[in-house]
Amino acid sequence: MEELRKKLVKGQVDGQVLMIFGVNGDLSKRKLLPSIFQLYIDDLLPKKFIVIGCGSDKKDENAFREDVEENMKLFADDLMEKHPEKFDTFKKIIYYKSVRNREKEDFDQLKNYTYSLTQKLNIPHNFIYYFSIPPFMYEIVANHLVVVGLNTEDDGWKRVIVEKPFGYSLDSAIELDEKLHKGFREHQIYRIDHYLGKETVQNIMVTRFANGFFEPLWNRRYIDRVEITAAEKIGVEDRGGYFESSGTMRDMIQNHLLQVLAVIAMDPPAVFDSDSIRNETVKVLQALRPIQPNEVSKYVVRGQYTEGKRRGEVLRGYREEKDVDPNSMTETFVALKLFVDNWRWSDVPFYIRSGKNLPVRVTEIVIHLKPAPLQLFKEKLSNQITNMIILRIHPDAGIAIDFEMKIPGAGYNVQSVNMDFHYSDLEQSKIPDAYERLLLDCMVGDSTLYARADAVRASWKFVDPILNAWRENPKIPLYMYPSNTWGPAEADGLFENKDLQWKDQCDKFFCEI
């Protein structure tokens, strides 16, 4: 960030325009605009920079700015409270153009509007188009941008940020790529996966590759299994319509969690640049052992939340949620066991689980190490040996190492203790939001933390047969679990060794069961 700040001060970062399609939507209100405002406060935006919000609602600039202010008070109240004067100047760099995505003439007008603004403000024609719109609109908007000539790079660079899900299956992802490539070249396409923008996910690479002591252990010889949990306390809220067509597999596993897995399992790149890093992560995804249709029930458990209680409050079941089919077969929980078939990870199981309406919000990676070759203190243990490296993404981001230690006093009795590092202990402890980081990267043309086409395809290739089996084979159960529990008990059955189970997340975090 410091290096970037210097460049920005020297005016070395290109002047540019960020156009957000779907600017009146949830993502833009909750994440994008607050992130841009934070970058503005931190003085991290290019000197010549404006945002043009594009949405179907008809309103003028002033009304838009007022809406943004209202939303900012809702979703970034801390920023608004601390920097009210900054917002007054920030709002002058945000503009609005009413655009109906299906109408070509609106894109002609958008072009004229943008050109007159850039001329007036002396901003070069470097444009980022952020597609914060439903996936079926990507193609339509991309096509209109091409038709009106807003894709050409003769007068400045053009970049497109495409939100997830990128396609619904391998075929549709390939098709979407082909359609985008009609008007944009690969270097112009930024497929966003906000998990890669999380500081703590990037820190996995630093932890592994900047230290001499983790990497020698990071392989099948010393690691028994890896667990990745992304538990959410909330249900689908008002996103029932979207979730019905997505489900947890498409919403969390195909993108966020497989990308996290790729970062955990990748080999060290020869140099730390975008291509080298992405070359290594894609190799992991390509090495995922396919799950055959007849093995889906053995390796994958799907669940759906039903009514439950938290602190006496009744939590609705998924089928009672707004815009959800009362007979819906959509999964809100997935647990799976998979293998990465390469030299480093051969036969090491990776267990992944994610679900909504679970007792706590936590995203954590647990690396379980194999026990020491000879158990000298077997008889003296107060509990099972739990050598673990825990990489906590949130809450309370940090790293913990659990190991065994002698209980002080007579004899050699052993107990588990841990060394716990918390990001909050750092002097510079503010963790930037993932969207801040990713927007900034796109502004400077760094695509390292964006998913490449081959990686997206490799993860669809792994996920597709599971989704197909669920669709085609009604015998594969969808297990029901009461809201505010840890998902169906069948998820425990993924561990072949019956002594093993998912790490208890309620031991560290407050679960209101």
Q: What residues act catalytically?
A: 256
Backbone angles phi, psi at 212, to 5 degrees: -80, -20
280: contact with ligand BG6 by CB under 6 A? no
Question: What's the min distance (Å) between Cβ of 509 and ligand BG6?
Answer: 14
Spell out a b/e string for 318-328, using b for 16 or more CB atoms within 10 Å of the CB, else e. Answer: bbebeebeeeb
Which residues in 47-106 contact ligand BG6 (CB under 6 A)? none
Q: Is 357 in the site for ligand BG6 (CB under 6 A)?
A: no
Residue 404, interface with ligand BG6 (CB under 6 A)?
no
Least Å distance, CB 201 to ligand BG6, is: 10
Q: List CB contacts of 70: < 8 A, sequence separation 6 or more.
A: none
| # residues near ligand BG6 by CB under 6 A | 3
Closer Cβ to ligand BG6, 253 or 440, answer by number: 253
**With respect to ligand BG6, which residue has the nearer C-beta, 248 or 387?**
248
Write out the two tokens for 358. Answer: 């679970």
Question: Which is closer to ligand BG6, CB of 23 or CB of 358?
Answer: 358
Q: Can you say how many angstroms the Cα of residue 405 is from the centroid of all Cα atoms in its chain?
A: 36
Residue 363 touches ligand BG6, criterion: CB under 6 A: yes
> What is the footprint of ligand BG6 within residues 129-168 (CB under 6 A)?
none
Q: How far is the CB of 112 from ligand BG6 (least distance, A)?
A: 35
Smallest distance, ligand BG6 to C-beta of residue 232, A: 5
Pick the binder of ligand BG6 from 67, 177, 227, 232 (CB under 6 A). 232
Would you say the C-alpha torsion 313, 319, 321, 326 has a positive or negative sign?
A: negative
Between 251 and 404, CB nearer to ligand BG6: 251
Looking at residue 344, its amino acid is: R
Long-range CB contacts for residues 108-112, cutoff 8 Å, separation at least 24: 108/148, 110/19, 110/52, 110/54, 110/148, 110/150, 111/148, 111/149, 111/150
* 473 DSSP 8-state letter: -
Q: Which is nearer to ligand BG6, 123 or 442 (CB)?
A: 442
User: Measured from the CB atom, is 103 or 237 closer to ligand BG6?
Assistant: 237
- Binding ligand BG6 (rule: CB under 6 A), the pick from 67, 106, 177, 251 is 251
Whether the upstream peptide bond of residue 395 has omega within 30° of 0, thus cis, is yes
The H-assigned helical ranges of 316-452 are: 434-444
* Residue 116 region by backbone torsions, left for phi larger than 0, else alpha for psi between -120 and 50, else beta: alpha
Task: For residue 298, give every residue at least 6 positions away whose Cβ sits within 8 Å of its Cβ, in sequence order, or none.
Answer: none
Q: Nearest distance from residue 83's CB to ligand BG6, in Å?
A: 24
Beta strands in 89-219 (DSSP E): 94-98, 127-131, 158-162, 189-191
* Shortest reach from residue 143's CB to ligand BG6, in Å: 25
Please report, as ranges, the residues that interact with ligand BG6 according to CB under 6 A: 232, 251, 363
